[in-house]
Chains A and B, each alone.
Chain A
């Protein structure tokens, strides 16, 4: 449709029919759109604070540009904790990816193979429960269970003749505890999408495989997994895009002076420097760096998946 070849009168008529004719739909859109602009896009322009020396009385727009422009970024990268916070962020997320990503897929496949419908329902619903607990509650449970003197884990360890370990107060156990509790909390919920995908697999495919003499294991490998592969790829791209984001609230709650070496991640640093110390420009710079890396990661993951697997989000 080329607008240029159409006479002007008809253009206004079309505008009237297509835009004004549906003014009610536009009216509905107006408030949410305003919300998106105020609460999502204004902060996006607010990231210019990262390149300025923020003064509260001048506000974001009138604060002077910092000199040099990337001053706050170089402050971060020249600090002694820069690479350790980047590594800590990556390590937690890679751990969650390595264990947390396959776990729901395996759970869905196991559930799919359980013959008793009743048992399957019970198991499925129990695995949902932890998802509804708040992060505060999950971290509290961790803390209670891991208590060196009274925690159930250490009581069991001692019963087995081992020494009690201060699990929450050590740099060594922070990551395993973080990853395991994450898997525990989210495995069931994240499995829903795979369960749904498995339910949609054409039963004729399984029948054909049975006729061809496939064992149940072979049916999983050659029917179930290929059928849910598109879902797996989609979830994988989304997950890669969050490789440096998730985990902030939990890391903050699990953090204490004794595990700070592994629990200090980029976002906890942003929180401490920005909200607690009021060094807004610096905290924004660190956060912006994190967001840009995320954006690059998800775009890359999407491109790679589109080229190699012919599967992508956009």
Chain B
């Protein structure tokens, strides 16, 4: 595409229309950039500014009186660290379970020689069209005795069918069938083929699956809301909801007056948003280079 545009500029003279078009594209993309980035940018500068300046509207485009007051308050807030710890546990264990379960079904479904492949693919895919819904699932989790245990956070979200199909498509399109045949001829059984031949070549799809599942676990709040009871087990998102949306009273610093306290509690919210979101946002760049290879293949063919 790009080479083409260069050539266009060189050999065939760009028409006035095309130049106007180029201008429109530039204006649109800059506008898009501002609209998407500004809320993020504002959250960052607000978290680093003095509470008073943020609330009086003096912080719009630039941080003022840079202070770490908000962050100090976040660090002092016990419940956030408790939530952080719980979320880390749920994310790591949950993602491991997801990876194991998803691979265990995606790989056999990608092999032509798997018996009953058609019906099993149907059983899995049908769940994307119809589900029992919230209440039957809730009653099931309760009757399995998982209510208010860590299992309620790990098992009901065990497989995301869409992710499973993306992985299956990756196995089908990116692992040459000849390679698996060669492995079989060399005496590998199906397990050995998977672990010694297929998985070592599947780094990119595994990275993408880690991204998908880990982000989902990190951001999960609803399952915790309905399946957990003890506050000590609550993940970060539930704690965030209490602080950010339900305006729970905070021990807001050692501010002198009520007014300062209230202001500090308001801007602390920006800092909380940053602290809670940075880990997942950092995950993407790590996975990015695998992303194109892993997901595009699976998503387009699927």
Binding site for B on A (CB under 8 A): 18-19, 22, 24-26, 28-29, 31-33, 35-36, 38-47, 49, 59-60, 107, 110-115, 117, 119, 122-123, 126-130, 132-137, 139-141, 143-145, 149-150, 152, 155-156, 158-159, 184, 187-188, 192-193, 196-197, 200, 203, 206-207, 210, 215-217, 231, 241, 248-249, 252-253, 267, 270-271, 274-275, 280, 283-284, 287-288, 290-291, 294-295, 298-299
CB B287 to nearest CB in A, in angstroms, measures: 11
Identify which of B17-25, B67-75, B171-179 touches chain A.
B17-25
Alpha-carbon distance A248/B133, docked complex (angstroms)? 12
Residue-wise interface mask of B (130-143) relative to A, using a CB-CB cutoff of 8 A (1 in contact, 0 not): 11111111111001
For A270, give its contact among B57, B132, B135, B245 (CB under 8 Å): B135
- Inter-chain CA distance A129–B36, complex, in Å, is 9
Question: Quick check: B43 and A141 within 8 Å, CB to CB?
Answer: yes
- In the complex, the answer to whether A253 meets B241 with C-beta atoms within 8 Å is yes
A114 touches B159 (CB 8 A): no
**B105 to A29, Cβ gap below 8 A?**
yes
22 contacts between A and B (CB under 8 A): A29-B109, A33-B105, A36-B105, A44-B130, A44-B132, A45-B136, A110-B32, A113-B25, A126-B37, A127-B36, A132-B277, A134-B219, A136-B241, A140-B245, A140-B269, A141-B39, A159-B57, A192-B295, A203-B1, A203-B3, A206-B1, A252-B222
Q: Roughly how many angstroms separate A210 CA and B257 CA in the complex, as a whole number?
A: 70
Contacts of B17 in A (CB 8 A): 215-217
Contacts of A35 in B (CB 8 A): 101, 155, 158-159
- Asked whether A275 lies within 8 Å of B129 as measured between CB atoms, the reply is no
Contact A59/B132 with A24-B190, A130-B36, A200-B300 known, Cβ cut-off 8 Å: no
Known: A40-B127, A136-B241. 11 other contacts (CB 8 A): A18-B113, A36-B123, A41-B127, A47-B133, A110-B29, A193-B299, A196-B296, A197-B300, A217-B17, A249-B221, A270-B133
Q: How far is the CB of A230 from chain B (nearest CB, A)?
A: 10
> Which residues of chain B have C-beta atoms less than 8 A from A197's C-beta?
300
Cβ contacts under 8 Å, B137 to chain A: 39, 43, 46
> Is B115 on the interface with A (CB-CB < 8 A)?
yes
Q: Within 8 Å CB of B240, what residues of A?
A: 134, 136-137, 140
Smallest CB separation, B84 vs chain A (Å) = 13
Is B251 on the interface with A (CB-CB < 8 A)? Answer: no
Instruction: State whether A26 touches B108 (Cβ < 8 A).
Output: yes
CB distance from A99 to the nearest CB of B (A): 13
Docked-complex contact A39 and B155, CB < 8 angstroms: yes
B35 interface residue (CB < 8 Å to A): yes
Task: Name B residues whose Cβ lies closer than 8 Å to a Cβ of A.
Answer: 1-5, 8, 12, 15, 17-18, 21-22, 25-26, 28-29, 32-33, 35-37, 39-40, 42-43, 54-55, 57, 60, 101-102, 104-105, 107-109, 111, 113-116, 120, 123-124, 127, 129-140, 143, 155-156, 158-159, 189-191, 194, 215, 218-219, 221-222, 226, 237, 240-241, 244-245, 266, 269-270, 273, 276-277, 280-281, 283-284, 292, 295-296, 299-300
- Tell me the minimal C-beta distance from A292 to chain B in angstroms: 8
Interface of B is mostly: helix
CB-based contact B219/A206 at 8 Å: no
- Which of A134, A215, A241 has the most C-beta atoms of chain B within 10 angstroms of its own C-beta? A134
Would B190 and A25 count as touching, CB distance under 8 A?
A: yes
Which listed residue, B25, B37, B114, B159, touches A22 by the CB 8 Å rule?
B114
Residues from chain A with Cβ under 8 Å of B190 in the complex:
22, 24-25, 28
**Once the chains are docked, how many angstroms separate the CA of A267 from the CA of B136?**
14
Closest to B26 in A: A114
Chain B residue numbers with a CB within 8 Å of A267 are 134
Q: How far is the CA of A31 from the CA of B104 in the complex (A)?
A: 8
- CB-contact partner of A110 in B28, B39, B219, under 8 A: B28
A253-B241, A275-B138 known; A152+B127 contact, CB < 8 A: no
Cα A283 to Cα B134 in complex, Å, equals 9
What's the A-B contact tally at a CB cutoff of 8 Å?
270
Q: Which residue of B lies closest to A289 (CB)?
A: B133
Q: Are A295 and B36 in contact (CB under 8 A)?
A: no
A280 to B226, CA, bound (A): 14
Please give, as numbers and ranges, the residues of chain A lying within 8 Å of B8 by CB-CB distance: 210
Q: How far is the CA of A203 from the CA of B2 in the complex (A)?
A: 10
Q: Which of A113, A127, A231 has the most CB of B within 10 A?
A: A113
6 shortest interchain CB distances as A-B pairs: A43-B132, A46-B136, A134-B219, A32-B105, A155-B57, A287-B133
Chain B residues near A155 (CB-CB < 8 A)? 57, 60
Q: Which residue of B lies closest to A283 (CB)?
A: B135
Once bound together, how far apart are the Cα atoms of A188 and B32, in whole Å?
10
> With A28-B105, A140-B269 given, is the CB distance from A39 to B140 under 8 Å?
yes
| Bound-complex Cα distance A216 to B18 (A) | 6
**Of B4, B18, B139, B222, which is within 8 A of A60 by CB?**
B139
Compute how far the CA of A18 lies from the CA of B117 in the bound complex, rounded to whole angstroms. 12
Among B15, B111, B226, B241, max chain A CB count under 10 A is at B241
Tell me the nearest residue of chain A to B136, going by C-beta.
A46
Select from chain A the residue with minimum beta-carbon distance to B100: A31
Contact A18-B21, Cβ < 8 Å, known A24-B190, A39-B156, A271-B134: no
B173 to chain A, nearest CB (A): 13
**Once the chains are docked, how many angstroms separate the CA of A42 from the CA of B134?**
12
Q: How far is the CB of B146 from chain A (nearest CB, A)?
A: 11
Q: Is the CB of B245 within 8 A of A132?
A: no
Are B114 and A43 interface neighbours, CB within 8 A?
no
Bound CA span A29–B191, Å: 12
Q: Is B130 a contact of A291 with CB atoms below 8 Å?
A: yes
